[in-house]
Amino acid sequence: MTDVIPGGWSETEPATKDIQRICDEVKGQVEEITKKKYGIFRALQYRSQVVEGTNYLIKIHAGGFIYLHVMVFEALPCYGGKKSVTGVEEGHTKEDPLVPF
């Protein structure tokens, strides 16, 4: 991960194993929001924002030409470290930039 300014978004980075673990953990929440099931759910890129916890904006390949942009909030460990999906944008392409929404 690159250095992050508190409150500011990081540059877009290739997804890491830790980012994929976050995606695996919140896949059910995304499926509930979109009312769809995904066989593939692979993190490609991400940005992060340090707040009272961390916001992640993750580009996910969900099979075929399906790309999602997913916002996840990870609470601080002292608050349980829970991960919550705070937004999902469907209809993206592989080339679309990650823009906070």
Work out how many domains the chain is built from and give that number: 1
Report whether pLDDT(88) > 80: yes
Q: How would you classify residue 65: left for phi > 0, otherwise alpha for psi between -120 and 50, otherwise beta?
A: alpha
Residue 64 lies in a domain: yes
Kindly state whether residue 80 falls inside one of the protein's structural domains.
yes
Residue 4 sits at the vertex; the CA angle it makes with 14 and 60, to the nearest 5 degrees, is 30
pLDDT at 6 over 70: no
Which residue range(s) make up the domain with 72? 13-92
The answer to whether residue 97 sits within a structural domain is: no
CATH code, 32: 3.10.450.10
Instruction: Please report which confidence band the pLDDT of residue 36 belongs to, taking 50, 70 and 90 as the band edges.
Output: very high
Q: What is the pLDDT of residues 46-84, one digit of tens each?
A: 999 999 999 999 999 999 999 999 999 999 999 999 999
Q: Is the pLDDT of residue 23 over 80?
A: yes
DSSP count for the chain of H helices, then E strands: 1, 5
Q: Is residue 61 part of a domain?
A: yes
83 domain residue, yes or no: yes
On whether residue 68 sits in a domain, the answer given is yes
